[in-house]
Amino acid sequence: MLKPATSGVEESAATRAPSRGSAGADLAKTELNGITPVRVRPGTNGKVAVVGRSMGSGVEPYASGLKTQGYDVETFSGNQISDAANDAWKNLILDYAPSRIPEARDCYSASSMSAAS
């Protein structure tokens, strides 16, 4: 079970850096607000970063559930996203529409191969 943050001497799951075998494994088994994570990677700073493709129906509900459990949660949204990043995203949409935007690893490998030829 996830441990809520406390103000006592004991470290909570929200304030200690997750280890590879504990918090990451615990989060991998969670379902919060109807959302189950696809992949959980342990971090080193005690925060939980929630990343996904659908903010309104995935990232935010899951992050909200983690916050109620006492985790220190961070999402990449709102004012954390620079204007330059928003502009770059809009350009990607224009460049690839109506197809999906490819994964970055696919773009790098394709450009690396053409540069090598």
81-100: per-residue pLDDT in tens? Answer: 889 988 998 999 999 988 88
Classify residue 47: in a domain, yes or no. yes
Statement to judge: residues 74 and 92 lie in one domain: no
Q: Which residue has the higher pLDDT, 46 or 20?
A: 46
Buried b (16+ CB within 10 A) or exposed e, 16-43: eebeeeebbebbeebebeebebeebebe
Statement to judge: residues 69 and 106 lie in one domain: no
pLDDT band, very low/low/confident/very high, at 38 (cuts 50, 70, 90): confident
Tell me which residue range forms the domain holding 89: 82-116
* Mean pLDDT for the stretch of residues 6-20: 36
- Report pLDDT for 87: 92
Whether the predicted pLDDT of 15 surpasses 60: no
Statement to judge: residues 95 and 67 lie in one domain: no
pLDDT band, very low/low/confident/very high, at 74 (cuts 50, 70, 90): confident
- State the average pLDDT for the chain: 73
pLDDT band, very low/low/confident/very high, at 108 (cuts 50, 70, 90): low
